[in-house]
Amino acid sequence: MDMVHDLDDLRGQVRAWRTAGEHIGCVPTMGNLHEGHLTLVRQALTLASRVVTTVFVNPLQFGPTEDLAAYPSTPEQDQARLTAAGCDLLFAPSVATMYPDGQQVQTRVEVPGVSDILCGASRPGHFIGVATVVCKLFNMVQPDLALFGEKDFQQLLIIRRMAADLAMPVDVIGVPTVRDPDGLAMSSRNAYLTSEERTQAPALYHALSAAAQGLAAGLPVPRVETEAAAALAMAELRPVYVSVRRAADLGEPTAADRELVVLAAAYLGRARLIDNLRVSRPRG
């Protein structure tokens, strides 16, 4: 696998592939790659003839009190894992390459509405940072398709919406969440958990599973949300939100909506964990 840091080198490689009629897939990441990311790469390899993985810890999507400085970085390990997975090219730009004139003057991309709720409500500006960097990465790599994990379900919908609204010729594909055997969704931020917290962390998945079962059994949304939040608190997680939403657009569900998603964010120690489960509600 080749690795490039500069935009000209990336563009040169992409141009050569395009000339040869290749179909290009892209997996944007912030590095510290785990099985969830590698699943995206492997899936991309089944859908495209060339796969570019990007590794960039995007300062624009972190709030001033968030974990930008502590975000885990494992460049050699990432390179080895991507090579083993069969990735064709790693694009690892610097902050200066991504934001040559500084972040303050960077043109931003905002997907209104869906960016302001759930994680967006507690992380103001986060999804502007995500949409902006993904828009730039799409313009840099010019992929035919791009893959994102469903663990970040709100992020996936925002990116899909951005690509549709801005007529970007990129197919945005969601890939199911990869979990540890005890149910915990894989995340780079799991590295922040102490060994004791790691044993508590699957409570998030268990609370969401119970909520999904409750919805499938026809329990009312407010009851399901309240019980899931109580279960998290019992397990000593600090819920930021537990919310049942319409899966298509994260709107508040009406009684007629069947395809739902239950989403939660919670702190455990210094780790902010997120997860979600899709559920089909029976006809009332």
Active site residues: 37
Which is closer to ligand PAF, CB of 17 or CB of 91?
A: 91
Check binding of 231 to ligand PAF (CB under 6 A): no
* Residue 134 within binding range of ligand PAF, rule CB under 6 A: yes
Q: Is 133 among the residues that bind ligand PAF (CB under 6 A)?
A: yes
CB atoms within 10 A of CB 194: 12
Side chain identity at residue 95, one-letter code: V
Query: Is 28 near ligand PAF (CB under 6 A)?
Result: yes
Q: How would you list the strands of the sheet with 171-175, edge to edge?
A: 2-4, 89-91, 50-55, 24-29, 145-149, 171-175
29 DSSP β-pair partners = 55
Would you tell me how many other CB atoms lie within 10 Å of the CB of residue 41? Answer: 23
CB atoms within 10 A of CB 165: 11
x/- letters, 52..91, toward ligand PAF (CB under 6 A): ------x--x------------------------------
Q: Is residue 178 a contact point for ligand PAF (CB under 6 A)?
A: no
Q: Does 30 bind ligand PAF (CB under 6 A)?
A: yes
Task: Establish how many alpha carbons lie within 13 A of residue 113's alpha carbon, considering only the half-sphere containing its beta carbon.
Answer: 8
Question: Is 13 one of the binding residues for ligand PAF (CB under 6 A)?
Answer: no
Among 14, 52, 130, 157, binds ligand PAF (CB under 6 A): 130
Give the nearer residue to ligand PAF in terms of CB position, either 160 or 281.
160
Burial class (CB in 10 A: 0-12, 13-18, 19+), 94: exposed
In whole angstroms, give the CA distance from residue 262 to residue 258.
12
By the rule CB under 6 A, 152 interacts with ligand PAF: yes
Residues that bind ligand PAF (CB under 6 A): 28-30, 58, 61, 130, 133-134, 152, 155
